[in-house]
Structures are given as structure tokens and as C-alpha cells.
Amino acid sequence: MPHNPTHVLDACGLLCPEPVMLLHNKVREMASGEVLEVIATDPSTTRDIPKFCNFLDHELLSQEERDRKYFYYIRKG
């Protein structure tokens, strides 16, 4: 894992808006500076998660697609 996440959120099988709703709740539990790995299968997350990070001032460290899954690494702002 490239960013050594402190938390993991598995949103596989969930469709918009559920992954972002779960992400929002998870980030609330985290301390500033902690890293979250999000794993999703919904292609709309490639649009929604970067917007979420930008809007709420969290740092999207990276996003990638592997084996039809989307992986996001987010540092809480």
C-alpha cells in the first residue's frame, strides 16, 4: 500500500450516493492527517470522491483502478 493508510473503507458493490455518504461518515471519525484507503466498484466515484475531497479540503493523495476496483487514498484535512 503506497500511502500506509490508517483506515480502510470498503464500498465495493455500493452505488452512488452510498460510497460518498460512507466516506463522509468515516472521515468524521478520523483525526486530521490520518490516511484513508477507499475501495469502490462504482465508476461514478472517480468523479464524486475527488469533488468531495476538494470541497471539504481533504487531500486526495492518489487514485487508481486495479481489477475493476477503484482505490483512493485520502488524507484528512
Which residues are annotated as catalytic? 16
Cα separation, 43 vs 69, in Å, equals 9
Residue position matching grid coordinates 484528512? 76
- Is the Cβ–Cβ distance between 19 and 45 less than 8 Å? yes
- What CA–CA distance (Å, rounded) separates 49 from 57? 12
